[in-house]
Amino acid sequence: MGRLDNKVSIITGAATGIGEAAANVFAAEGARVILADVDEKQVNKTAENIRKEGGNAEAYHLDVSSEEGVKAFARHLEESYGTIDVLFNNAGVDEQGGKVHEYPVELFDKIIAVDLRGTFLVSKYLIPLMLENGGSIINNGSMSGHAADLDRSGYNAAKGGIINFTKAMAIDYARHGIRVNSVSPGTIETPLIDILVGGKEDDMGEKFRAANKWITPMGRLGRPTEMATVALFLASDDSSYVTGEDIKADGGIMAYTWPGKMLIEQDEWKKGTE
């Protein structure tokens, strides 16, 4: 406990899912957490829940794709806190769009605007608040930034960009005392999964979860808190000599080339899923 004592920590996309889990974990470790999200009602609720547990949390309504909105957020942080110590660029959207020649331009633009451009904008305007004392930036990548998914080229492009953008930021700011890393989650049980494919009780949602358990060597979906603790490691001094890295937290999916023997011996392989 106390790995982030009094550190001013910003988390975008903090209303639900991985961002919410990170906010809870960071607050439990002593951070002063600012939760930013486009869902004003839910982010206020999440911050209030943290305060009820004795944590230090502030909610802020933010659309990370809006440059003016991010500028205003940076001004608020400077006026309220002076400097910041940790930034977790977690905000993101995802949606299946079809093959590239069918892919809606407006959907591609939306995903790039929130996931990739949002990471850029928040970093650009908040880094000046870190330059004096240093700090840690964590960007939320994805296993989809390392390999491709059917019908989701916009998301693949955005997340691939984030992972390499992380490396660019790392070398830009290493001698300013700012470490920049990313975490690449696999399939995590979050509200976004419900939006994309349906809930656990829906037929498609059930099939999706069963398929992901089958292809994941650990035999289950990840939990938001498991991503939050990776972010905590990167935010804390435990990772003081780590920068420019991407940590895959995907239950082992990216560790194999193709599911050859898993396909041949399906019944035996499936026994290991939760």
Q: 155 an active-site residue?
A: yes
Query: Of the candidates 256, 43, 230, which has an alpha carbon nearest to the alpha carbon of residue 147?
Result: 256
Q: Which residues pair with 86 in a beta bridge?
A: 9, 136
Element (H, E) at 20: helix 17-28
How many angstroms separate the CA atoms of 194 and 5, rounded?
34
Closest CA to 94 of 78, 80, 114: 114
Q: CB burial class (10 A; 0-12, 13-18, 19+) of residue 166?
A: buried
d(CA 208, CA 270): 14
Cα–Cα nearest to 138, from 156, 113, 165, 112: 165
**DSSP state for residue 188 in the 8-state scheme:** B
- In the numeric block, the tokens 């396909």 are attached to 263
Hey, what are 63's tokens?
A: 């659309």
Rg of the chain in Å (alpha carbons): 19
Q: Name the residue type at position 76.
A: H
- CA dihedral of 45, 49, 51, 55, whole degrees rounded to 10: -120
Q: Pick the catalytic residue: 60, 125, 155, 173?
A: 155
Residues forming the active site = 155
